[in-house]
Structure 1
């Protein structure tokens, strides 16, 4: 039986010709879906792969660019950054209805909840959070040019464009006045720092986008759909802001960072700084930007909730959570 978005007969014929030793008779199950890219485990009875394609329906190519995901993971092979092995990319939408790619199925757990991580105990939890920071520092140490990614993005003016981009997103979801958001934007726009040395930016780096195996080793960084070239300190700031958000609204977001033993914010920054040669002296600005970005994202969810366009529970408090997030961003700017 074909899962939605995956014609197994068509995929099987293509896979047998594109991946050595792959069979054409396939079964598949959906691992993750929704508004993000669809992820399937595909098997021919003897081997398994992961197939990724865009969500169903009309999507913007720039938001679900399979070629970019495939390219960055392929380029990072052998760099020390754990990524799945990539096997093949299909640019022909006629095969299954969209571009897609095939990659290795890596062992490991993407820890999202404190309830999942806590049974490991504080010592193992600390070690896992240390690996989280170490992998990020390793990614940011990779030279885009040496990895063949010198043309992967537009790093010049990256930070200024980020401020403008998220203001547009916030305006597109307007349902109420947010004076704190206006003030935070004003401060960000008035003090955009010079970009630090260009690096590969993951764009959504957090623990539940990292697979960790039973020996607590990081086996793969996943979900590269927002990857680009720019200022890597935005990755560190966004990860920490996710942690701050978990402290505010808990289980409504990934809250693994609240697990006993997990490195606190100061420890994360210190560990990253020890492994990186980047200047973190103006890091408060980056935290302000991350708070503004997440507030824009949450306001979009709140907008859809008010319009009756969300599915499931847990959206009631999203609108309220924006206020402490913006306040934290303003505080970070004052400490900059």
Structure 2
């Protein structure tokens, strides 16, 4: 993960022209759109576009989230941007989550060739995916106390979200929820993402989950889904914007906790494989679970199960992303399909205990 992966087939000039026409029509006044750009360090699923809009003496720094074009080999089979837009508003209003302010939702694919929504752009620092923050940079070089402050405040996002109460009527697109439904949805996603191609290490992980199913998965809450520090904007090591709600789901709290823990392990393992120390004292399971318990009173359970599930889910996604790279000629198909999973060694280690 040393160079950006291609995620779009749309040209920036075309996006500029179409955004200008759409927003001018939406607001009923001429709008000047400038500074159209894409992020370079994070994001492999939805297409993200930065731009600035000015009209009637007002100036907004904006972020548009677009469902990817079919020819771009999407990571997910569908992109419910309406639900993402609504959950962003609900998380702000009912849980006090510092999600960016939603501005406009456009369900009609005609203006940009796909549905999209626009939210405010929040300034700050994001721990990068490329090169991973474990290799160096502002978080790596921070004082241990500052890193711990960032860690604890990020776990606090999960605590606030999970303790907020939402009705099923507010989250109709997420279904009834539950661990079993979530895992079955991942099986369906695996089949969609890879078709007739079998990836043995992922199928072994599915079998492991069945053999170690929790006796009591616990109650369900609204889960962020892609709960990781790379989806948070920070100022002074404090979250100021929580991003990317496309994997939101109703399920056990541990879905988010384990994802946050494992996604750091994913980057840490990559870093150690390159002979670098990384951040071994960051996002450790015991520390994360202790902070969460202190904030919520909930004792995280079955974390080995949920971390294996996080590794499996991430493996399906990364194999799909790697196949997109193959599609765009950025990488050759490996002889062993397990090598599509960047962290196959980690999953194999977890499978053997």
Q: TM-score, normalised by structure 2?
A: 0.77
String of CA shifts for 1:15-35, please: whole Å, max 9, x gaps: 245469x85121242223885
Aligned mate of 1:188, from 202, 205, 209: 209
Aligned 1:255-270 pairs, distance under 5 A: 258-259=278-279, 262-270=282-290
Q: Is the 8 A contact 1:199 1:231 kept in 2?
A: yes
C-alpha separation in 2, matches of 1:83 and 1:205: 13
Relative distance call for 1:209 and 1:176 in structure 2 (3 A) is closer
Query: Is the Cα contact below 8 Å between 2:19 and 2:112 reproduced in 1?
Result: yes
SS in 2 for 1:186: helix
Residue 322 (structure 1) shift: 0.4
Q: Which runs of 5+ in 2 are unaligned?
A: 1-9
Q: Secondary structure at the match of 1:76?
A: helix
Instruction: Report the CA distance between 1:60 and its aligned residue.
Output: 8.5
CA contact (8 A) 1:48 1:105 kept: yes
Structure 1: stretches of 5+ with no match in the other structure: 332-336
Q: Is the 8 A contact 2:35 2:51 kept in 1?
A: yes
Corresponding residue for residue 47 of structure 1: 60
2:89 corresponds to: 74
The 5 A counterparts of 1:168-207 are 168=191, 172=195, 174=197, 177-178=200-201, 181-193=202-214, 194-207=216-229
Is 1:297 aligned with 2:306?
A: no
> Cα–Cα, structure 1 residues 263 and 176, in superposed 2: closer, same or farther, change >3 Å?
closer
Q: Comparing 198-207 with 242-251, which one deviates more in the overlay? A: 242-251
| Other-structure match for 1:26 | 33
CA distance in structure 1 between the aligned counterparts of 2:75 and 2:187, rounded to whole angstroms: 19
Q: Is the 8 A contact 1:9 1:25 kept in 2?
A: no
Cα distance in 1 for partners of 2:200, 2:100 equals: 44
Deviation at 1:298? 3.9
* CA offset digits 1:18-70 (Å, max 9, x no partner): 469x8512124222388522222222343321122122344588532221211
Conserved 8 A contact 1:140-1:199: yes
Q: Residue 346 of structure 2 is aligned with which of 309, 324, 327? A: 324
Q: Distance in 2 between matches of 1:301 and 1:60?
A: 6
Q: Is the 8 A contact 1:238 1:290 kept in 2?
A: yes
**1:132 equivalenced with 2:139 (yes/no):** no
294-303 or 238-247, larger mean C-alpha shift: 294-303
Rounded to whole Å, the distance in 2 between the matches of 1:310 and 1:223 is 27
Q: Residue 161 of structure 1 corresponds to which residue in structure 2? A: 184
Distance 2:19 2:145 in 1: 44
CA-atom RMSD, angstroms?
3.6
Which string of whole-angstrom CA distances, capped at 9 and with x for unpartnered residues, describes residues 213-262 of structure 1? 1x222111111111122223111112211222223222899x9x943763
- The size of the alignment, in residue pairs, is 322
Structure 2 CA distance for partners of 1:320 and 1:189, relative to 1, 3 Å:
same
